[in-house]
Structure 1
Amino acid sequence: MTATDRDILLTNDDGIDGDGLAALREELTELGTVTVVAPADNQSGVGRKRSRYTTRREHEWGYAIGGTPADCVAYALRGLDTDFDLVVSGCNYGPNMGAYVLGRSGTVGAAMEAAFLGTPAVAVSAYHDVEFFTRPPEEYDFSTPARIARELVADCLAANVFDQVDVLNVNVPCDASDPRVRVTHAHGDFDVRVEHRDPAEADPDDPPIAVGDDEELVTLWDKFWPHVEGYENPLTDVDAVRENYPVGSDRRAAIDGEVSVSPLSAPREPAHHETLDAIVERFNAQ
């Protein structure tokens, strides 16, 4: 099979009309036939959530699904006649890095759904070296993340990387023309800040929430960068946080403006603890 004979499924979590998906589709057509099956609307942050029922609407590139990214992948891999060689998810509007984030990301969730269904996948996310999140997307250029993703996909398919790797989680700076590429691991730090607030102080941009007379409003703020206040734009003072993240971690790569490529396995890796073995043995001996 040549590089241009591949059947590639393309999805995302920002919706089928997303600028990042369009840029990625344009690049991937150089590698083969690209079929788009993507959410009809924004599904960011849903992880690997699946639906029992969904809807399908024809689109010029494939199908728009009224569900989650994982729904899109499940439908395409089991509901279409194509035997896809690879699933690509993205480009996301902002990075997906850190072990906690990988479980929440719809972009990575789609890739994981594919891997569990036996098809390797690449999750592609774009970030800005200073502004971090690429929102609103129309103000950013996704050509570099899309190009680098295409080059990585081509090389990894040719070298049979996916014989041993289920998912590649890739984060690419959109504001660098020739960034360094680094193999990374998902960094584990994460925290939550809890605030008790008056319902009148709720953010008007958030979905409305009903608060009863005997209830108080509680906000749970994710701190994806625990060492930085205002994680949504953490790269303005990199010298203050750089050494908190080791070289080889996906977060350090973002701080240094690099392309982060994290190879992942789909099943949870088992952990072994001799003390647990002894506890179980005592149960069995009773």
Structure 2
Amino acid sequence: MSKPHVLLTNDDGIDAPGLAALYEELTGAAEVTVVAPMDNQSGTGRTRTHRTAREEHPWGYAIDGTPADCVAYGLRGLDGDVDLVVSGCNHGPNAGNYVVGRSGTVGACIEAAFLDTPGIAISAYHNRDFFVHPPEEYDFGRPARVTRELLVRSLSGDIFDTVDMLNVNAPVDVPESDMRLTEPHHDYDIHVEHDVTDRDEVDLGKPRDGDIAIRDVVWPNTIGWENPFPADDEVRERYPVGTDRRALIEGEVSVSPLTAPAAAVETAAVEELVAGFNDSEAARERATEEGL
């Protein structure tokens, strides 16, 4: 049996250590073609651009664009069928429904799903440090090995008959961590600061007078890029077992099976809204015809 063909991308850029670890590990189980952004594209979600450029790379191509651009080009601009898109390994976790929704790592797999190709989005976290930054100081071997195992097992079964993608968070510092089936947790808020003068330029860029900071609140008592670990019992119990954030607190590998294209929802309330609109339109037409 021939090896599966994997399209490998990320949102941290083609020179990222996380991508290098995945490439090294996955080439033992698959034919791997890399199409990744030239530079960091974190937080771009499924954003696409209409024009881009490419540069040749020993592993494939670097694209002047987003992870979704890379997937679109890799699946439609290159010869050969792709069995699976792997996106990562991200330099930090992608957990919680809001974070997952805007992640460039996950966005690559969403783009793949619209192009009828399954995907695995893999993100790395540290059970004490939370973020793996600077990434050069961490070993991405464990998340890479988890990805290889998921690749082999998922393509040998019927996983992707009903699932478009797997969103995976794996620790870099827990070598024998259990794997947990999870769902993205719904827990998010925004903290807004006006007239900010002392702030992290990673969040706001070049200073300007009257700057407004719009910072994520995705963990208890944390704003922006703060580290929510080490977790105490109050934080642990806030997130039920089975959620991706609880798995991170426990140092587990979180695997969330997701569908990507928006699905219609049947609801009586919306049916009544539409029927009421049509009835009122018909009534207005009758009134106009009768000269009322």
Q: How high is the TM-score relative to the length of structure 1?
A: 0.93
Match of residue 9 from structure 2: 11
1:122 & 1:39 partners in 2: Cα distance? 17
1:232 & 1:92 partners in 2: Cα distance? 18
Gaps of at least 5 residues in structure 1 are none
Match of residue 86 from structure 1: 84
Structure 2 counterpart of 1:190, from 188, 194, 218 = 188
2:78 & 2:56 partners in 1: Cα distance? 13
2:157 & 2:198 partners in 1: Cα distance? 54
Deviations 1:151-191 (A, max 9, x none): 01101111121111101000000001110001100111100
Structure 2 counterpart of 1:246, from 240, 243, 249 = 240
Structure 1 counterpart of 2:200, from 175, 200, 203 = 203
Match of residue 115 from structure 1: 113
2:248 & 2:43 partners in 1: Cα distance? 20
Cα displacement (A) at 1:266: 1.0
Deviations 1:10-32 (A, max 9, x none): 00000101101011011111222
Structure 2 counterpart of 1:142, from 135, 140, 143 = 140
Cα displacement (A) at 1:209: 4.9
Structure 2 counterpart of 1:265, from 259, 279, 285 = 259
2:233 & 2:262 partners in 1: Cα distance? 34
Deviations 1:237-276 (A, max 9, x none): 3322111101000011001110000000011233333222
Match of residue 57 from structure 1: 55
Match of residue 289 from structure 2: none
Match of residue 99 from structure 1: 97
Q: Is the 8 A contact 2:231 2:249 kept in 1?
A: no
CA separation of 1:32 and 1:204: change in aligned 2, threshold 3 A? closer
Match of residue 256 from structure 1: 250
| DSSP 3-state at the match of 2:73 | helix
- Identity in percent: 56
CA RMSD of aligned residues (A): 1.4
Q: How high is the TM-score relative to the length of structure 2?
A: 0.92
Match of residue 228 from structure 1: 221
CA separation of 1:204 and 1:164: change in aligned 2, threshold 3 A? closer
2:178 & 2:262 partners in 1: Cα distance? 30
Structure 1 counterpart of 2:152, from 154, 157, 163 = 154
Higher alpha-carbon Rg: 2
Match of residue 168 from structure 1: 166
Q: Which AA in structure 2 matches 1:6?
A: P
1:78 & 1:240 partners in 2: Cα distance? 48
Match of residue 281 from structure 1: 275
> Which range moves more in the overlay, 266-275 or 47-56?
266-275
1:58 & 1:275 partners in 2: Cα distance? 53
1:269 & 1:186 partners in 2: Cα distance? 17
Q: Which AA in structure 2 matches 1:241?
A: V
Q: Which AA in structure 2 matches 1:265?
A: T
| DSSP 3-state at the match of 1:36 | strand
| DSSP 3-state at the match of 1:234 | coil
Q: Which AA in structure 2 matches 1:182?
A: R
Q: Which AA in structure 2 matches 1:262?
A: S
| DSSP 3-state at the match of 2:237 | helix
Deviations 1:101-152 (A, max 9, x none): 1111100000110111110000000000011010100110000000011001
